[in-house]
Amino acid sequence: MIFVFGSNLAGRHGAGAAKYAKENYGAIYGMGKGRQGQSYAIPTKDQKLKTLPLDTIKFHVEQFIQYARQHPYEIFYVTAIGTGLAGYKNEQIAPMFINAPDNCTFCWQWVEIFHKMGKPAKEYGQIEGGNNE
Residue 68 pLDDT? 98
Q: Is 3.40.220.10 the CATH number for 2-126? A: yes
Q: Residue 16 burial by CB count (10 A; 0-12/13-18/19+): exposed, middle or buried? A: middle
Q: Is the pLDDT of residue 125 over 90?
A: no
Q: Measure CA 91 to chain center.
A: 15
Per-residue pLDDT, averaged over 112-131, amounts to 70
Rounded distance between C-alpha atoms, residue 65 and residue 71, angstroms? 10
Are 19 and 12 in contact by the 8 Å Cβ rule? The answer is no
Domain boundaries of the chain, sorted by first residue? 2-126
Q: Is the pLDDT of residue 23 over 90?
A: yes
Per-chain mean pLDDT for the chain: 91
Where on the phi/psi map is residue 132: left (φ > 0), alpha (ψ -120 to 50), or beta?
Answer: alpha
Q: Is the pLDDT of residue 126 over 70?
A: no
Residue 92 pLDDT? 97
Q: What share of the chain is helix, strand, coil (3-state, %, to 5)?
A: 35, 20, 45
Confidence category of residue 124, pLDDT binned at 50, 70, 90: confident
